[in-house]
């Protein structure tokens, strides 16, 4: 069974066509890096897979069924989350538990089975020691572990991780990628992991899904990260340079994957506020 299938899908946001007539299938159990320039549609695509953005044309299927909001088989880590209320002493355990019922921030009363599930999720991401620590004392890298634990509540088969490496230094980026890869292998799940450059994902991903110019290219790194493919997706001449195991995507002398990172669309990410994990 394929984890995700898109059949001639077009997505429109705010009157702008983000993706037009794209088709691809991602097999179950794959780790796929989702890449593309700012505004290429990485977040919009994930929200469409979640059933939050309806295609203007075509069909999206998740594990053989139409993409629908609230699918428990899908775990989601958005870029932007609502901050914890000021003055609270919300702990790491509380933070993960807050999505256990209804997957909205709050502090539910949980039974033994759900509490065990939360403990298991924390252990899977190596965050057991963070359970009783206040969020205010938890670093950015540690916070990402808690966010990842949230996505595992409900035992999803597909994880959509939207730019989880933002604001992390290279060391913590590597830790997050290695952790997600270990989870993907141990749990046998499918992962879509969006990023604004390919290098942190090298050695971990099975395939690349590159978006640009309203189009998409899916395949192995050496099939997609090429000058002809990326020139088509960027709509301009692109050179791909490989140096000491790293890949640089260049437009003239400009490294297009290292441009200042911005959200794809401010109003789109504002819509994430109050939504976490399974939506």
Taking alpha carbons only, the member of 207, 210, 151 closest to residue 176 is 151
Per-residue pLDDT tens over the stretch 87-113: 557 888 888 888 876 544 455 567 888
Per-residue pLDDT tens over the stretch 159-207: 999 999 988 899 999 999 999 999 999 999 999 999 989 999 999 999 9
pLDDT above 90 as % of the chain:
65
Q: Which residue has tokens 């075509």?
A: 58
pLDDT at 107: 57
With a CB cutoff of 8 Å and minimum separation 6, the contacts of 123 are none
Enter the pTM of the model.
0.86
- Which residues make beta-bridge pairs with 248? 241
Instruction: Write down the domain spans for the chain.
Output: 2-80+159-270
CATH superfamily assigned to domain 2-80+159-270? P-loop containing nucleotide triphosphate hydrolases (3.40.50.300)
């Amino acid at each position: 069974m394929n984890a995700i299938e898109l059949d001639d899908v077009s997505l429109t946001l705010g009157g702008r066509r983000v993706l037009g007539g794209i088709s691809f299938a991602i097999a179950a159990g794959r780790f796929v890096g989702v890449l593309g320039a700012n505004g290429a549609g990485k977040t919009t695509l994930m929200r469409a897979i979640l059933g939050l953005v309806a295609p203007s044309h075509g069909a999206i299927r998740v594990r053989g069924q139409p993409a629908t909001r609230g699918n428990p088989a899908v775990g989601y880590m958005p870029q932007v989350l609502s901050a914890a209320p000021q003055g609270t002493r919300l702990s790491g355990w509380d933070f993960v538990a807050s999505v256990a019922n209804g997957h909205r921030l709050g502090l539910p009363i949980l039974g033994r089975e759900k509490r065990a599930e939360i403990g298991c999720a924390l252990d899977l991401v190596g965050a057991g020691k963070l359970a009783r620590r206040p969020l205010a004392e938890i670093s950015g890298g540690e916070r990402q572990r808690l966010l990842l634990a949230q996505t595992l509540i409900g035992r999803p088969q597909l994880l959509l991780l939207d730019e989880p490496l933002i604001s992390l230094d290279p060391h913590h980026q590597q830790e997050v990628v290695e952790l997600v890869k270990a989870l993907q292998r141990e749990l046998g799940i499918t992962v879509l992991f969006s990023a604004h450059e390919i290098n942190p994902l090298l050695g971990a991903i099975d395939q690349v899904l590159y978006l640009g110019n309203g189009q998409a290219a899916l395949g192995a790194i050496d099939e997609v990260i090429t000058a002809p493919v990326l020139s088509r997706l960027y709509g301009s001449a692109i050179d791909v340079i490989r140096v000491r195991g790293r890949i640089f995507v260049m437009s003239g002398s400009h490294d297009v994957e290292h441009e200042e990172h911005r959200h794809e669309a401010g109003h789109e990410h504002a819509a994430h506020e109050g939504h976490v994990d399974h939506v």
